[in-house]
Amino acid sequence: MRRRRAAVAAGFCASFLLGSVLNVLFAPGSEPPRPGQSPGPSPAPGPGRRGGRGELARQIRARYEEVQRYSRGGPGPGAGRPERRRLMDLAPGGPGLQRPRPPRARPLPDGAPSWPPAPGPGSPGSGPRLGCAALRNVSGAQYVGSGYTKAVYRVRLPGGAAVALKAVDFSGHDLGSCVREFGARRGCYRLAAHKLLKEMVLLERLRHPNVLQLYGYCYQDSEDIPDTLTTITELGAPVEMIQLLQTSWEDRFRICLSLGRLLHHLAHSPLGSVTLLDFRPRQFVLVDGELKVTDLDDARVEETPCASSADCILEFPARNFSLPCSAQGWCEGMNEKRNLYNAYRFFFTYLLPHSAPPSLRPLLDSIVNATGELSWGVDETLAQLERVLHLFRSGQYLQNSTAGHRAEYQRLPDSTILQEDYRCWPSYHHGSCLLSVFNLAEAVDVCESHAQCQAFVVTNQTTWTGRQLVFFKTGWSHVVPDPNKTAYVRASG
């Protein structure tokens, strides 16, 4: 996702940005047209190539039909049965909201579907949705970033919750290139907005702990375009690989396990096997340590059609894979295999093996190698990741690592040791050595393996696997009372 850090940092641009956010995202809500509303009238001639408006209408229609397919269940092998409930509640933003009189807008290209589109039969999930009313008194608007089509902002709702807002980027490449080609700003907005709508539909249909949660949406007037779409989603932190490499193996394994669970869900989703065509770390975020996919506008449900295995070449920069062509004319497992190899080359190969417990490394190496060769599918990959979790959480990986201890440690209950810290890697705290352990025996093993360690402090804090966090110390000359900690000091002699 391209960054505009310099512009955001400048004072003038920050002021301009805040004004743009308020104009683009927080205008009063409007009531979308009801289902069955007819498309707009034929357009007046405008700039662009000959017959360009007809081509623009064709592209809008194609994206509209794609959204409708996904809202019903998606075509192709393994497509889910259509659900009976509406995809989304297209009610007005809330009582008391007055719609401003928008500038005169150009009509949609002839043949394009109405906007906003009528709801499909997908499932919106239970509970109330946030709408335009929730955006009236937001605070702390902050630009996060933008890509080819969308811009993302962080805001705080009146209740204090921070959420992410996504909208079509009016200065983005997607909208700009379309306007240059067709000369129809409103029609080009509709074309780009259908990608945002597709993402909203998929966030609904693919609900899962590792799919970003959709909180709501709002249709609103903005500039010369009525009924622009803003989605309201869960807020996550960007995935920064350099920072992840400096975190504990336990946290890095959690990310890989999250990804394995996500890929298993995508391979067996209600829509069929879903592939992420744009599979890079920037398409994911971290929410409380869990990896979640956030960018789904480039996802695809349909498997690749084929006449023979020559049509089923899965291509990557470093190597290619040949997959079989099924009797039904689909490349077998191409969606699943594409996701799995991308997980290997962007995540597993960097995050899984390094600084892992020695007894787990053979199993982790087999996971990395099997996904790199595509010798396993997502089912086996997830099964092996879950096996690693079981071995790590249960402490079974320690069976061959708890040798006889070279020293005894005296227990000092309800106490801690101030200062006397040293750094180790990877640590949960940059200024000290803070690690997680399964039990007291492992804490002693760690201290014995560090030349500078003379004591350690067991806290009452635990990690996501239930392991205790322990500070390792160079001495114990500053012991003070603390009811939430227990200190262990090396016995003299």
156-170 mean pLDDT? 91
pLDDT value for 96: 26
226-249 mean pLDDT? 91
239-266 mean pLDDT? 95
Closest C-alpha among 240, 224, 256 to residue 103: 224
pLDDT for 178 beyond 70: yes
Give 77's pLDDT tier (boundaries 50, 70, 90): very low
| Alpha carbons 90 and 92: distance in angstroms, whole number | 7
pLDDT value for 68: 86
Give 400's pLDDT tier (boundaries 50, 70, 90): low
Question: Which H/E stretch holds residue 237?
Answer: strand 237-238
- Which of 177-181, 226-230, 263-267 has the highest average model confidence (pLDDT)? 263-267
pLDDT value for 432: 93
Half-sphere exposure of 193 (CA within 13 A, CB side): 24
| Alpha carbons 433 and 195: distance in angstroms, whole number | 46
| Alpha carbons 200 and 197: distance in angstroms, whole number | 5
pLDDT for 20 beyond 80: no
Q: Which residues, listed in sequence order, are joined to residue 472 by a DSSP beta bridge?
A: 433, 456
Torsion angle of the four alpha carbons 473, 476, 479, 484, in this order, in degrees rounded to the nearest 10:
30
Phi and psi at residue 271, to the nearest 5°: -90, -10
| Alpha carbons 304 and 329: distance in angstroms, whole number | 9
Phi and psi at residue 269, to the nearest 5°: -75, 165
Please confirm whether the linkage preceding 116 is cis (ω < 30° from 0): yes
Percent of the chain with pLDDT strictly greater than 70: 76
| Alpha carbons 443 and 330: distance in angstroms, whole number | 54
pLDDT value for 113: 59
- The string of pLDDT tens digits covering residues 436-451 is 999 999 999 999 999 9
Question: Rounded mean pLDDT of the chain?
Answer: 80
Give catalytic residues, as residue numbers.
278
Provide the CA 203 distance to its chain's centre, in angstroms: 11
Torsion angle of the four alpha carbons 19, 25, 28, 29, in this order, in degrees rounded to the nearest 10:
180
Give 382's pLDDT tier (boundaries 50, 70, 90): very high
- The string of pLDDT tens digits covering residues 351-362 is 999 999 999 999
pLDDT value for 83: 28
pLDDT for 227 beyond 80: yes
Give 491's pLDDT tier (boundaries 50, 70, 90): confident
More confident residue, 426 or 356: 356
| Alpha carbons 266 and 339: distance in angstroms, whole number | 9
Please report, for residues 48, 301, 305, 327, the alpha-carbon distance to residue 324 in angstroms, rounded to integers and kept in the order given. 44, 18, 11, 10
- The string of pLDDT tens digits covering residues 280-329 is 999 999 999 999 999 998 999 888 999 999 999 999 998 999 999 999 99
Other CB atoms within 10 Å distance of the CB of residue 207: 17
201-217 mean pLDDT? 94
Q: Which of 102-116, 155-169, 433-447 has the lowest mean pLDDT?
A: 102-116
pLDDT value for 331: 94
- The string of pLDDT tens digits covering residues 458-482 is 999 999 999 999 999 999 999 999 9
Q: Which of 2-6, 26-30, 76-80 has the lowest mean pLDDT?
A: 26-30
